[in-house]
């Protein structure tokens, strides 16, 4: 089971297509002003879970499982009909148990209450009664169809790059199984290994962390996300990219370019500690994998659009384990991204008026959510009159578009 992804509940029941995802948001789309806000929700709530998870001393994998539970829950439910904060607490509570890192329900309630009551959330109503969380756990587990074993890309990353627990990745050093013999790769792609410098590997790891800010974990098998993250890391990590370029240049036999590059590589490689090693042919490595490269390219596109969206999401630009910085540096050729991120404290109103908002802050998103939920509630309360009180935003948008 742990080795057989293809026989897993994850593969059999929880990889969905875009159509299903769209369908699952149909109710929310009726209540949201701009569909894009729902994409911001995906980032926002993943951040909330990550931060709460850190408060609970969760490892990255536990946090990732909690986020997957959250996403799976919202395949079946809508934001406007639920309270995401209690759902988040339940997801963390169940993920802790499912990943053998249990948190006592009292601590869970206390941490969640304290954390959610702070800014920017200001949720004062989170129940102090343990049984409320336990009740939500019940509904959550039922909505998850009791499928509590989740596969993550981290394992593929580790097995492809053969990083042992001895490495210095401070964030996830303990994540590697100790003394556990590795089975064959469940997606059966031979046994080649990618030799990446540690910081390129760390970049791939951060990209994987970032994919949880979107629905990618519902759309694609984890090993494809891992390979895409590696692919992006190879392309985006400076020294590694240079290696890659060298390789392609040497194929074209253009010695003119290679000599200045080599010198630049030497200067950077001393710190990377792989100076002596003959460089690996990355292109050949990816080509040899038994997976669809066009699919990897598609996923890469989706990851890049996530970063594009995320750039307009204004919250803590100092997230440590994210690869955002790398992407802004390359994608939008900005040397400093700090300028655009200082708007965290911008009054929400300024975003909401005449000029179409280009970004979103947590406070703004919370207001959007509250409005959606209040409107949905009014509609349900007045359902008998048959006339919706709230305007169907989807209809409104369609009409506006003519």
Partner 1 sequence: MHEEWSHTLLQSDPMRFYRAKRDRLHQAVTSKYTILGFISSGTYGRVYKAQSLEPDGQIHAIKKFKPDKEGDVVTYTGISQSAIREIALNREMSHENVVALKEVILEDKSIYMVFEYAEHDFLQVIHHYSQTLRIQIASQVLKSLIYQLLNGLVYLHSAHILHRDLKPANILITASGVVKIGDLGLARLIYQPLQPLFAGDKVVVTIWYRAPELLLGAKHYNKAVDCWAIGCVFAELASLRPIFKGDEAKLDSKKNVPFQRDQLLKIFEVLGTPTEKDWSGLKDMPEYQNMKRLDTYPNRLAEWCQTRIRSQQGYDLIRQLFAYDPDKRLTAKEALAHKWFQEDLRPTRNVFFPVSAHHLPPQRRITQDEAPSMMGMPAPTQAQTLSQVPLGHGQAQGQHLSQQSQLNLSQQSKPGSTASFGSVSGGAVGSFSGGQGGSARKKPRIG
Give the binding site for partner 1 (CB under 8 A): 1-4, 7-9, 59, 61-62, 77, 81-83, 85-86, 93-94, 97-102, 105, 124-125, 130-131, 133-139, 141-143, 145-149, 155, 174-180, 183, 370, 373-374, 377-378, 380-381, 389
- Number of other CB atoms surrounding residue 65 within 10 Å: 28
- Number of other CB atoms surrounding residue 157 within 10 Å: 26
How far is the C-alpha of 288 from the C-alpha of 46, rounded, in Å?
34
Closer residue to partner 1, CB minimum distance, 94 or 348:
94
Q: State the nearest-atom distance from the C-beta of 374 to partner 1, in Å.
A: 5
Note whether 219 and 317 are within 8 A (CB).
no
Closer residue to partner 1, CB minimum distance, 1 or 354:
1
Q: State the nearest-atom distance from the C-beta of 127 to partner 1, in Å.
A: 9
Closer residue to partner 1, CB minimum distance, 148 or 319:
148
Closer residue to partner 1, CB minimum distance, 174 or 192:
174
Closer residue to partner 1, CB minimum distance, 169 or 272:
169
How far is the C-alpha of 148 from the C-alpha of 97, rounded, in Å?
9
Residues in the chain: 402
**Following CA atoms 230, 232, 234, 238 in sequence, which dihedral angle do they give, to the nearest 10 degrees?**
-140
Q: State the nearest-atom distance from the C-beta of 332 to partner 1, in Å.
A: 37
**Following CA atoms 78, 81, 84, 88 in sequence, which dihedral angle do they give, to the nearest 10 degrees?**
-80
Closer residue to partner 1, CB minimum distance, 30 or 77:
77
Note whether 174 and 101 are within 8 A (CB).
no
Q: State the nearest-atom distance from the C-beta of 151 to partner 1, in Å.
A: 10
- Number of other CB atoms surrounding residue 269 within 10 Å: 19
Q: State the nearest-atom distance from the C-beta of 370 to partner 1, in Å.
A: 7
Note whether 71 and 39 are within 8 A (CB).
no
Q: State the nearest-atom distance from the C-beta of 223 to partner 1, in Å.
A: 15
Closer residue to partner 1, CB minimum distance, 173 or 344:
173
Q: What is the DSSP letter of 357?
A: P
Q: State the nearest-atom distance from the C-beta of 349 to partner 1, in Å.
A: 18
How far is the C-alpha of 366 from the C-alpha of 352, rounded, in Å?
13
Note whether 75 and 343 are within 8 A (CB).
no
Q: State the nearest-atom distance from the C-beta of 311 to partner 1, in Å.
A: 31
Q: What is the DSSP letter of 132?
A: H
**Partner residues linked to 360 by β-bridges:** 313
Radius of gyration of the chain (CA): 23
Q: State the nearest-atom distance from the C-beta of 262 to partner 1, in Å.
A: 39
Q: State the nearest-atom distance from the C-beta of 260 to partner 1, in Å.
A: 44
Which residues touch 25 (CB under 8 Å, ≥6 apart)? Answer: 35, 38, 78
**Axis-axis angle for helices 153-161, 198-211 (nearest 10):** 160
- Number of other CB atoms surrounding residue 243 within 10 Å: 22
Closer residue to partner 1, CB minimum distance, 79 or 282:
79
CA 280 to chain centre: 29
Closer residue to partner 1, CB minimum distance, 48 or 133:
133
């Amino acid at each position: 089971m742990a080795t057989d992804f293809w026989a897993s509940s994850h593969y059999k029941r929880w990889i969905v297509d875009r159509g299903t995802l769209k369908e699952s948001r149909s109710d929310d789309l009726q209540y949201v002003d701009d569909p894009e806000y729902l994409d911001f929700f995906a980032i926002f709530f993943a951040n909330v879970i990550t931060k709460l998870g850190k408060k609970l001393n969760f490892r990255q994998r536990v946090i990732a499982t909690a986020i997957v539970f959250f996403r799976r829950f919202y395949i079946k439910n809508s934001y406007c009909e639920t309270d995401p904060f209690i759902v988040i607490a339940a997801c963390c509570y169940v993920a802790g148990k499912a990943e053998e890192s249990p948190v006592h329900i009292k601590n869970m309630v206390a941490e969640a209450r304290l954390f959610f009551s702070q800014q920017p959330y200001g949720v004062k109503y989170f129940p102090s009664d343990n049984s409320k969380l336990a009740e939500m756990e019940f509904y959550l587990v039922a909505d998850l169809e009791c499928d509590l074993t989740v596969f993550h890309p981290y394992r593929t990353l580790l097995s492809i790059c053969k990083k042992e627990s001895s490495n210095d990745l401070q964030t996830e050093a303990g994540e590697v199984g100790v003394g556990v013999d590795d089975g064959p790769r469940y997606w059966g792609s031979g046994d080649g290994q990618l030799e990446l410098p540690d910081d390129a590997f760390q970049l791939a790891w951060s990209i994987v962390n970032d994919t949880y800010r979107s629905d990618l974990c519902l759309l694609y098998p984890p090993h494809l996300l891992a390979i895409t993250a590696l692919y992006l890391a190879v392309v985006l990590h400076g020294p590694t990219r240079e290696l890659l370029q060298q390789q392609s240049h040497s194929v074209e036999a253009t010695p003119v370019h290679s000599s200045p590059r080599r010198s630049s590589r030497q200067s950077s490689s001393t710190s990377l500690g792989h100076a002596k090693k003959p460089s690996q042919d990355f292109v050949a490595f990816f080509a040899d994998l038994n997976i669809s490269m066009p699919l990897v390219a598609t996923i890469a596109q989706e990851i890049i659009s996530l970063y594009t969206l995320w750039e307009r999401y204004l919250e803590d630009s100092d997230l440590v384990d994210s690869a955002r910085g790398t992407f802004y540096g390359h994608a939008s050729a900005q040397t400093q991204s700090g300028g655009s991120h200082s708007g965290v404290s911008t009054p929400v109103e300024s975003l909401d008026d005449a000029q179409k908002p280009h970004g979103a802050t947590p406070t703004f998103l919370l207001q959007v959510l509250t409005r959606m939920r209040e409107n949905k509630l009014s509609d349900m309360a007045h359902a008998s009159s048959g006339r919706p009180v709230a305007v169907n935003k989807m209809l409104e948008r369609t009409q506006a578009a003519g």
